[in-house]
């Protein structure tokens, strides 16, 4: 599914929708160039899960941030600066990704072999002044989630 996001608020807004529909165990993988909106959409998801606004930051240097949502924990990864897959083990990636809580992974494609089998692939493309989001479900849970997303998103453009 493709959605045009004319401005930053639309990116955060689609994140809000995903966050409202997210359940414990869900994984979202973000792919897109520098500045495509991966962190902003992760922020939208996190805020919808009840994370405090000032907690959400880009994990580019930390590799992983952990936030307390109102009901679920949110783990926010950015794999851009990670060099070797072994480093993922050191930060406990396997236990986090797909475990209790919601997992968000920026630059997921850099470590494609380390990803869980099932997740929602979110690709962000820069298009003119805005962005295009492409949602591709990997697995049955995410097919269902996508159907729910469609009920919330306006395609009238």
Ligand X SMILES: Nc1ncnc2c1ncn2[C@@H]1O[C@H](COP(=O)(O)OP(=O)(O)OP(=O)(O)O)[C@@H](O)[C@H]1O
Give contact residues for ligand X (rule: CB under 6 A). Answer: 5, 7-8, 10-11, 32, 34-40, 58, 60, 106, 129-131
Q: What are residue 133's DSSP bridge partners? A: 3, 124
Please provide the distance, in angstroms rounded to a whole number, between the alpha carbons at the two ends of the chain: 14
* Closest CB to ligand X among residues 35, 85: 35
For position 58 contacting Mg ion by CB under 5 A, the verdict is yes
* CB contact at 8 A, 124 and 41: yes
Residue 7: name its binding partner from Mg ion, ligand X, none (Cβ under 5 to 8 Å by kind).
ligand X
User: Which long-range contacts link 84-88 to residues 24+ away (Cβ below 8 Å)?
Assistant: 85/111, 85/113, 85/114, 87/63, 88/114
For position 103 contacting Mg ion by CB under 5 A, the verdict is no
The half-sphere exposure of 42 on its side-chain side, counting CA atoms within 13 A, is: 35
* Contacting range for Mg ion; rule: CB under 5 A; set: 33-41, 90-98, 135-143, 148-156: 33-41
Residue 7 Cβ vs ligand X, minimum distance, rounded to whole Å: 5
Residue 37: name its binding partner from ligand X, Mg ion, none (Cβ under 5 to 8 Å by kind).
ligand X
Residue 140 Cβ vs ligand X, minimum distance, rounded to whole Å: 28
Using DSSP, state whether 105 is helix, strand or coil.
Answer: strand
């Amino acid at each position: 599914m493709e959605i045009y996001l004319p401005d930053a608020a639309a990116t955060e807004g689609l994140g809000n929708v995903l966050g409202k529909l997210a359940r414990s165990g869900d994984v979202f993988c973000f792919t897109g160039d520098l500045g495509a909106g991966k962190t902003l959409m992760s922020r939208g998801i996190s805020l919808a899960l009840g994370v405090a606004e000032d907690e959400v930051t880009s994990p580019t240097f930390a590799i992983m941030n952990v936030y307390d949502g109102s009901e679920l924990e949110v783990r926010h990864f950015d794999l851009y600066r990670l060099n070797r897959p072994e480093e993922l083990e050191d930060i406990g990636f396997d236990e986090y990704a797909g475990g209790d809580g919601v997992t968000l992974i920026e630059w997921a494609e850099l470590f494609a072999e380390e990803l869980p089998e099932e997740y929602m692939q979110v690709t962000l493309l820069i298009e003119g002044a805005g962005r295009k989001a492409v949602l591709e479900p990997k697995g049955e849970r995410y097919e269902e989630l996508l159907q729910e997303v469609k009920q919330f998103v306006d395609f009238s453009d």
